[in-house]
């Protein structure tokens, strides 16, 4: 039993979420409908406690549970981003769910269970642990996507995500079985040692199928087909959760698998990453131009931003991994701020989602218009906002790795994508005012203002953040 206690110390955030979710199930079952409100507050507390456990817990790297679970600087950094995304989306969505009469006690429990799967996924050090974490993350997501059961769009979103998610999980599992068959082990370190720079045709097939499953979770092209429909159809707080916390976990596990299981065959996997990166950037730039629904616009925006993040991974260097971490952290803040504005789009008690509903917002709510404009400029990569630095770091990593064509395509795609971000700003500041929105909740105001200020003043003192990401990236090498 002695080795169990160090293992639990290194997996304390996961233990906190697991115990918290089980306790909330019992709490909700005993209290019934009366537990709907308190369950969310308790879940937020559990997520906050998990963040504290990472910040104040052991900072030493270790591989525990017979090599299935790794606790390192990279994992701790990405876990904080994931937990932060889950916590903020729970806080932002509480009033929305209550107004839509879907504030059930099961919702925060499902968010906790999905987040637990994400943390396990980030720390997975073997193919079995990866698959278990992936399924624990995915199953609650299938449910929350269709949580508004009486809404046809939400039911369609849940069904599409479930069917395509099951397909991608099967492909990932097939790829994992191929890799196990050729490497003789399921651990990432063991696979790297067995391949030893010589990838046979079977290993390449296994790698392709594994990357297919991971690309689906990241919503990278050509496995993005679920994203626009699910983002538009799911309840808005669920869409925010998909776009924030789930993205962090998917990108983190992709980086870990690529860099720790296949370091000796970078020539093979780099081709895959470059291919899906270019396609994602291009589709995200062009497909969003004609969108009229802002949630659907954010879906294509998310696809494009995943493409930009993968530019850093394609570099296959320590600087590239650090650039991906910087990009995802800034993307998380931009996404949470944008969805705080989208959740504030309510007229006469009814949620609205059309971009045209933002018409003249600068005249009816100047503060919201200003901070949403900051988010749009940052997503477009306009200096000196944080979004510019996010793209600069990934493009710089690609140039250092001599991937000049990839960097040029990324810059061109970013220029095209700027059109539809700036169109939102134009609608808010130059069109005739639409009916004014209802007063947003204090929580939404705070999230929008805090994220906006972070994007505005990131350039003032980025040194500490850059040094933290650089140190965390080293733990993968």
The confidence band for 223, taking pLDDT boundaries of 50, 70 and 90, is confident
Same-domain check for residues 291 and 405: yes
Same-domain check for residues 72 and 205: yes
pLDDT at residue 2 tops 50:
no
Place of tokens 């990108």: 251
**Are the C-beta atoms of 265 and 94 separated by less than 8 Å?**
no
Q: Which of 210, 226, 259 is the last residue of a domain?
A: 259
> Residue 62: in which H helix or E strand, if any?
strand 62-64
Same-domain check for residues 84 and 109: yes
Same-domain check for residues 48 and 125: yes
Place of tokens 């092209």: 221
Burial class (CB in 10 A: 0-12, 13-18, 19+), 402: exposed
Q: Helices 247-261 and 318-343 meet at what angle, rounded to 10?
A: 170
Q: Which residue from 154, 131, 174 is spatially nearest to 242, judged by alpha carbons?
A: 154
Same-domain check for residues 100 and 216: yes
Q: Which domain holds residue 135?
A: 1-259
pLDDT in tens, 405-430: 999 999 999 999 999 999 999 999 99
Sign of the CA dihedral with 152 first, then 153, 157, and 163 last: positive
The confidence band for 455, taking pLDDT boundaries of 50, 70 and 90, is very high
Q: Could you tell me the two tokens for 104?
A: 């059930």
pLDDT value of residue 35: 53
**Number of separate domains in the chain:** 2
Cβ-Cβ contacts under 8 Å for 92 (sequence gap 6 or more): 237, 240, 336, 339, 340, 343, 443, 444, 447
**Percent of residues, the chain, with pLDDT higher than 90:** 53
**What's the whole-number average pLDDT of the chain?**
89
pLDDT in tens, 90-139: 999 888 888 888 878 888 999 999 999 999 999 999 999 999 999 999 99
Assessment of whether the complete model's pTM goes beyond 0.85: yes
Higher pLDDT, 3 or 372: 372
**Are the C-beta atoms of 316 and 476 separated by less than 8 Å?**
no
Distance CA 472, CA 278 (A): 27
Same-domain check for residues 389 and 251: no
pLDDT in tens, 128-176: 999 999 999 999 999 998 888 888 888 888 888 888 888 999 999 999 9
pLDDT in tens, 16-68: 999 999 999 888 888 766 556 688 889 999 999 999 999 887 677 888 888 88
Q: Which residues are bridge partners to 347 per DSSP?
A: 350
Rounded to a whole number of angstroms, the CA Rg of the chain reads 21
Burial class (CB in 10 A: 0-12, 13-18, 19+), 286: middle
**Are the C-beta atoms of 178 and 170 separated by less than 8 Å?**
no
Same-domain check for residues 245 and 289: no
Same-domain check for residues 196 and 287: no
Query: Quick check: bond before 457 cis, omega within 30?
Result: no
Cβ-Cβ contacts under 8 Å for 275 (sequence gap 6 or more): none
Sign of the CA dihedral with 451 first, then 456, 462, and 466 last: positive
Task: Quote the strand ranges of 256-405, DSSP E.
Answer: 346-347, 350-351
Same-domain check for residues 247 and 282: no
**Are the C-beta atoms of 437 and 365 separated by less than 8 Å?**
yes
Rounded mean pLDDT of 356-383?
91
Same-domain check for residues 270 and 242: no
Same-domain check for residues 278 and 132: no
pLDDT value of residue 97: 85
pLDDT value of residue 233: 87
**Are the C-beta atoms of 320 and 243 separated by less than 8 Å?**
no
Q: Which of 219, 239, 259 is the last residue of a domain?
A: 259
pLDDT at residue 195 tops 80:
yes
Distance CA 471, CA 16 (A): 26
pLDDT value of residue 116: 95
Report the relative pairing of strands 62-64 and 350-351 from DSSP bridges. Answer: unpaired
DSSP-derived secondary structure for 255-309: HHHHHHH-GGGHHHHHHHHHHHHHHHHHHHHHTTTT--BHHHHHHHHHHHHHHHH
Long-range contacts of the stretch 189-195 (C-beta < 8 A, 24+): 189/67, 189/125, 189/260, 189/261, 191/127, 191/261, 191/262, 192/260, 192/261, 192/262, 192/263, 192/264, 195/262, 195/264, 195/265
Place of tokens 């965390």: 472
Higher pLDDT, 434 or 4: 434
Same-domain check for residues 224 and 269: no
Rounded mean pLDDT of 234-254?
92
Q: Which of 243, 259, 275 is the last residue of a domain?
A: 259
Q: Which residues are bridge partners to 70 per DSSP?
A: 63
Q: Which residue from 387, 332, 355, 270 is spatially nearest to 89, judged by alpha carbons?
A: 332
Range of weakest confidence among 149-158, 302-311, 429-438: 149-158
Q: Could you tell me the two tokens for 410?
A: 């990324």
pLDDT at residue 199 tops 90:
no
Place of tokens 């496995």: 223
pLDDT value of residue 440: 86
């Amino acid at each position: 039993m002695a080795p169990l206690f160090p293992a639990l110390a290194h997996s304390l955030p996961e233990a906190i979420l697991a115990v918290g979710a089980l306790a909330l199930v019992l709490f909700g079952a005993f209290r019934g409908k009366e537990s709907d409100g308190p369950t969310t507050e308790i879940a937020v507390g559990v997520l906050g406690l998990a963040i504290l456990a990472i910040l104040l817990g052991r900072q030493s790297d270790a591989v525990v549970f017979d090599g299935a679970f790794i606790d390192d600087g990279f994992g701790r950094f990405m876990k904080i981003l994931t937990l932060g995304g889950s916590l903020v989306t729970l806080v932002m969505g509480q009033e929305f769910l209550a107004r839509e009469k879907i504030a059930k006690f099961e919702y925060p429990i499902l968010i906790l269970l999905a987040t637990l799967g994400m943390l396990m996924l980030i720390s997975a050090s073997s193919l079995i642990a990866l698959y278990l974490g992936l399924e624990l993350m995915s199953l609650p997501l299938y449910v929350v996507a269709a949580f508004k059961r009486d809404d046809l769009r939400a039911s369609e979103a849940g069904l599409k995500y479930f069917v395509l998610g099951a397909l991608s999980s099967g492909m990932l599992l097939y790829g994992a079985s191929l890799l196990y068959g050729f490497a003789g082990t399921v651990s990432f370190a063991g696979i790297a040692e067995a391949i030893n720079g010589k990838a046979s045709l079977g290993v390449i097939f296994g790698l392709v199928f594994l990357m297919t499953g991971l690309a689906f979770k990241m919503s990278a092209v050509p496995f993005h087909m679920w994203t626009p429909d699910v983002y538009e159809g799911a309840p808005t707080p669920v869409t925010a959760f998909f776009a924030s916390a789930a993205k962090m976990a998917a990108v983190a596990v992709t980086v870990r698998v690529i860099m720790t299981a296949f370091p000796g065959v970078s020539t093979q996997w780099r081709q895959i990453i470059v291919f899906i990166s270019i396609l994602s950037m291009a589709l995200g730039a062009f497909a969003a131009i004609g969108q009229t629904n802002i949630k659907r616009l954010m879906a294509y925006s998310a696809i494009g931003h995943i493409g930009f993040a993968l530019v850093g991974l394609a570099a296959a260097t320590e600087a590239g991994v650090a650039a991906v971490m910087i990009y995802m952290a800034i993307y998380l803040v931009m996404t949470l701020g944008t969805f705080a504005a989208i959740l504030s789009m309510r007229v006469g008690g009814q949620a609205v989602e059309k971009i045209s509903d933002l018409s003249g917002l600068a005249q009816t709510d100047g503060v919201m218009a200003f901070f949403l404009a900051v988010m749009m400029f940052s997503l477009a990569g306009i200096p000196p906002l944080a979004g510019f630095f996010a793209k600069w770091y990934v493009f710089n990593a690609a140039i250092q790795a001599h991937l000049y064509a990839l960097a040029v395509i990324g810059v061109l795609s970013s220029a095209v994508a700027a059109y539809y971000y700036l169109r939102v700003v134009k609608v808010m500041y130059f069109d005739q005012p639409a009916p004014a929105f209802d007063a947003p909740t204090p929580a939404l105001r705070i999230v929008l203002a805090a994220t906006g200020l972070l994007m505005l003043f990131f350039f003032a003192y980025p040194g500490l953040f850059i040094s933290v990401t650089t140190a965390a990236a080293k733990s993968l090498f």
